Chain A
Amino acid sequence: MSTPAASAPPASAEVVASALAGAGYLADDASALVCFLAQRLGKPVLVEGPAGVGKTELAKATARATGRPLVRLQCYEGLDEAKALYEWNYRKQLLRIQAGGDDRDGWSSVHDDIFAEEFLLARPLLQAIASPEPVVLLIDEIDKTDQEFEAMLLEVLSEFQISIPELGPIAARSEPIVFLTSNNARELTEALKRRCLYLWIDYPDLERELEIVRLHTPEMDERLARRMLEVVHEIRALDLHKAPSIAESIDWARTLLLIGAQDIDRETFTKTLGILIKHQTDLELVAQRVGVSLEARSRLGVDGK
C-alpha cells in the first residue's frame, strides 16, 4: 500500500520523529534528523554503533512509518552479486535451449531469448530497485562483506541503477530509502562513506531508554523500570565482552514483570542475570561488582526510609 506520505518527503525532522514514534521507535534528535535528511536528499544512510542499539530497528520502523515494504539484504562474508543483485536462471535457460534445439533455425531465436528478464532471478538489490512502489532497502551488516562487494554497491547507492551486461542498466522505478548498518568490524571504504549520510547511534541515556522500555512494557511500574535501567547502565559502564543492548533491557523488563518482582534485590538480580549477560566471564564480573553495589544500595534505601 502506498500512502501519500510515502511519496512526498516529510516536512521536518519533528514529523519524522513522530512518525517513527508512531511505528514504535523512539528516535533521538540525530536519528530523526538523519532519517529526515535521507528522505529529503534521497541519499542512503550509513548507520553505525554498538550491537543492539536499534540500527536495524530504525530501518524497520522507517518502513512501518512510511508504509513502504522493507527489502532486506543480510550481508555475510562471501556474499556475491549472484545473491545480492541478480542471477541468471541457468536451469530455465538450459530448458529453453533444449526445448528449442530441435529445429534448424531455432538457435537464432533462442540466443536472443535466453537473456531476457524472464530468465532473471531478482535478488534483494534488484528487487528494491525494480519495485514499482517505493521501498525501504536495508543492507544489514555491510562490514561483513568483502571490499569488492562494497565497490559493487556504489552504483546502486549513487545512481539507484544496476547494470546487467546482457541487458543494459536497469534504473530504479521509484526511489528507495536505503539504510546500511555496520558494526564497525572493519573500516568501510571512503568511496562508500562519501555517498552516504552518516549516523552513529550509541546507547541511549537513561531517560530515553526509560521511555523505550516503557513503550514496550507499558504495564511496568515506572519506579521499578528506572531502578532496573540504573542497574543496566551501571553494567554498561563496566568493561565487558558484550554490554547489554536495548533489546536485552526490554527482555529483562518483561521477565521482571513475568516473575512479578517488586524491587531488584540481589536475589532477583542473580536469578535473571542470564538475560542481560551472555558471557561467562562477564557474568562473574557483573555478579561481583553490581551484586555488591545492589546490596549497598538497598541498605541505603532502608536507611532512607
Chain B
Amino acid sequence: MSPGPGPFGSVPEAGPPGLTARLLELVGALREEGLRVGTSEILDALEATSSVTWSSETAFREALAATLAKSPEDRRVFDLVFGRFFFRAAEAEAIRQDLAATEAEAGATPGDEQDIDLEALAQAVREAVAEGTDPQMRDLARLAVAALGRQGEGVGVVGVDVQRIRRALGLQTHAGRRDDEPDPDEGPTLDRESINAFERHLRRELERRLIERTGTLPPARPLADLDRALPSNPAQDLAAVHRSVKMLKRRLATVGHEHRGRRHSSVVDVRRTMRTALETGGVPLRLRYRPRRPRRPEIFVLCDVSTSVTSASLFFLSVLHALHDAFRKLRSFVFIERISEVTEVFARERDFTEISRKISSDGGVADVSGYTDYGRVWLEFGEQVARDLGPRSTIIVLGDARTNGRAPHAPALGAVTARAGRTFWLNPEPRLYWNYGDSVISAYEPFVDGVFECWTTQHLEQFVGLLAGQAPEPQPR
C-alpha cells in the first residue's frame, strides 16, 4: 500500500483525512493485488463517487467498481479488497477511539458456551445459509463464534477456527453426492456459494474478535491466492471449472484471428482487386488482400493424473477437453507411472464427465503403485511417440514434476524435446513450492522452452496467448 500507511503493525496512524486519501489507499491495495488501475480511472472514480449518495453502501461500491474493476476477475478481487479495506479502516478507527474494550466485554464470556443450544443454532444457520440472507448470516456467525469460538485458543489461525466451527455446525455441501437425486429427507441442500458466504462472515467475526482482544490490527496480508480465482481448488464445483474453460475455449477459437489484420505482410489478391475495380470503371481504388491462414500447430499434451495433482488434474483434463475442440491436430496422453494415449477417448466422447470417468477407470493408465514416475514416462514417450515429432510440433506437459524420489531421467526428456519444435511445461503448483521435497522441476527446466506456473485461468490464458503465436516462431514457412 504505497500511498497510504505501511503495513499495520500496531495502531495505525489515521493518515490524511478525506475521501481522496482513502480512495488512493484503496487503489494502492487494489494495485497490490494486481489490478491495473490507471490515474485516469482514479479520476473517474472520484467523479463517480461524487455523483452518488454515500449513505448506500451498494451505490458507493458499485460506483467504484464500475470505474476501477474492468473484468469479472478484477471484480471478484475488487469485492474482496473492498470488504477487507473498509473492514480494516473501520477497525483501525475503533481501536483509535478505544471502542473495542467495552464491546469485547459484551461479547462471549466462557459462560456463554453452555447457554447456546447447539442443535438449534446449527438448524438456524442451515436455514439462513439456504436462504442466503446476508444480515441474518452475519448475526448467526457472530452467535456461532460466541458458542464455539473458544477464546484464547487458535489465536492467529482464523482459517482453522472457521473450519472447526463449520464442522461443528454440520455444514456440508452436496458436492460429495452430486450424482444422487436431491433427497427430500435431508432438508435443503446447501450450495457451495452460500456456505462460502457464511464462512466469510465467520472469518470476519473471528478477525474482529482477534483485533478486539489484542488491540492491534494484524499486518495487511495479500489476498490468499486460493480466494481469488482458482479452478484447481477442489472445493470448487466442476461446473465452475468448466465455465472458465468454456470461456477459454471461445478465446482459443478466436485467438490468432485478431492478429490476422492486413498490416502484417499481406498479399494482394489480384483477382478480387480487379473484380472490385469494375465498380469504379476499372480503376483499382481499393486493394483486396488474400486472407492469411492461421497456423495450425500440432500439439502433444501430456497430463499427469496422479493423486498429488488430483485437484489440478481435473482442471487440466477439462483444459485438455477444451484444447481438443480448438486444435484439430492434438494428441493427448495421460500418465501416472506409465503413459497412455487418450486422444481416442476425447475424439469419441463429447461429454466431459464421461471422459473423466473413462480416463480414471479404463483409460489404460498403467497405475501400479499410484505414484508418478516421470523418468519412466519420458522413456516410454521417447520410444512410442518421438518418431512422430517434428519441428512443427509443440509438446505441453501438465504436471508437478514430483517423481516420488525416483530417477528423473532428464536426458530422456531432453532427447524428446530436441525432436519437437517447442516444449512447454505447466506446473499446477505455485512457484514457491517448486524444487521442494521431491519436485525436480529444475532438472527438467533446461530441456524445455518454458516452465510456467498454471493454477488459475489467468495463467492459462497467458499461456494460450503464447501458444497461439504471439511468441517468436522458430518454424520457417
Contact = CB atoms under 8 A, between A and B. Distances in A.
Interface of A: 12-13, 29-30, 33-34, 36-37, 40-41, 43, 46, 48, 77, 90-91, 94, 143, 146-148, 183-187, 190, 193-200, 237-239, 281, 285, 292-293, 296, 300
Contacts of A199: 66
A48 B191 CA distance: 25
A239 B238 contact: yes
Interface string B7-36: 000000000000000000000000000001
Contact of B254 (A186, A194, A197): A186
9 contacts: A13-B52, A30-B58, A30-B66, A33-B63, A41-B48, A43-B44, A90-B279, A90-B280, A300-B184
Contacts of B243: 239
Contacts of B259: 147
B182 A296 contact: yes
Given A46-B70, A239-B239, 4 more contacts: A33-B59, A91-B280, A186-B251, A296-B182
Contacts of A29: 58-59, 62
Q: Which 6 A-B pairs have the closest CB atoms?
A: A193-B70, A239-B239, A198-B70, A197-B66, A147-B258, A30-B62
Nearest to B285: A90
A190 B37 CA distance: 10
Nearest to A98: B281
Contact of B242 (A37, A146, A186, A239): A239
Nearest to A295: B181
Nearest to A236: B239
B114 interface: no
A90 B277 CA distance: 11
A196 B70 contact: yes
A285 B179 CA distance: 12
Nearest to B283: A94
B99 interface: no
Interface of B: 36, 38, 40-41, 44, 47-48, 51-53, 58-59, 62-63, 65-67, 69-72, 75, 181-182, 184, 191, 238-239, 242-243, 247, 250-251, 253-255, 257-261, 263, 279-281, 283, 285, 350-353, 461
A91 B276 CA distance: 12
Nearest to B37: A194
Given A34-B62, A186-B258, A239-B239, A40 B70 contact: no
B263 A186 contact: no
A40 B48 CA distance: 8
Contacts of B65: 30, 198
Given A33-B59, A33-B63, A237 B239 contact: yes
Contact of A146 (B255, B261, B352): B261
B62 A33 contact: yes
A238 B257 contact: no
Q: Is the interface of A mostly helix, strand, loop or mixed?
A: helix
Contacts of B69: 198
A278 B350 CA distance: 16
Contacts of A43: 44
Nearest to A280: B350
A94 B191 CA distance: 68
B247 A184 contact: yes
A243 to B, nearest CB: 10
B450 to A, nearest CB: 21
A230 to B, nearest CB: 12
A194 to B, nearest CB: 5
Contacts of A40: 48, 51
A135 B75 CA distance: 30
Nearest to A31: B62
Contact of A94 (B239, B281, B350): B281
A34 B66 contact: yes
Nearest to A87: B286
B38 A194 contact: yes
A41 B181 contact: no
Contacts of A190: 36
B44 A13 contact: no
A91 B279 contact: yes
B181 A292 contact: yes
Nearest to A88: B285
A37 B63 contact: yes
A40 B67 CA distance: 13
Contacts of A196: 70
B414 to A, nearest CB: 35
Given A184-B247, A194-B38, A296-B181, A37 B280 contact: no
